Amino acid sequence: MGSQNASAISGVMALALATACGNAVSPQISPISTPADAPDLSLQGVALARLSEGRIVARGTADRLDYQRAGARLQASRGGGVIQPEPGSRLAALGSVRFVADRVDGEIANRKGVASGAVRVDAERGDVARTERIYYDGDFLRSDTRVAAAGPGYRVEGSGLLARTDGSVIQLTDGVKGQLQMESRP
């Protein structure tokens, strides 16, 4: 038994020495090696929650979420989330706001990102907006694709969108059309 172990160890040592001495060039990366730009964290079927002062202020899900520490970058596929606006804020009148997109790319530290592919936003109040792509940059949202929105008393379309994330400014751009329904007055 001892001679068999010694023989196996000798064979492994001989193979290692032959490999080390026989090739001065570093070997190619194997097909199972990690690519240089691989995420630091990759999750499938993920659900997240953000807490503030003991209450959930945002929730999210994604079929896949990749995160790279360098630059605090994230990529999500078939992602969605729900935001609970701060009480007393302009957005509070909308109630909870739900959004979904086929793809989300973002830089958390820089507060920048883009959602693309069947982007939809639904507010608890009954507002719904759809577009193919929307950019997030700090306190602003911008879209350069067709935007359709509807809610209590309105239905509008535009070829783009400019908005502040606090809800103080919402502008449809480039060829706006729609209908507004006035409330009846006594």
Q: What is the pLDDT of residue 37?
A: 76
Domains located in the chain, CATH noted: 48-180 (2.60.450.10)
pTM, rounded to two decimals: 0.70
Q: What is the pLDDT of residue 165?
A: 83
Q: What is the pLDDT of residue 109?
A: 85
- Report d(CA 153, CA 33) in Å as an integer: 57
Give, for all 186 residues of the chain, the pLDDT tens digit: 444 444 444 444 444 444 444 445 555 555 665 666 788 889 999 998 988 888 888 889 999 999 998 888 989 999 998 888 888 888 888 888 899 999 999 998 888 999 999 999 999 999 999 999 999 998 899 999 999 999 988 899 999 999 888 888 888 888 888 887 766 444
Q: What is the pLDDT of residue 38?
A: 85
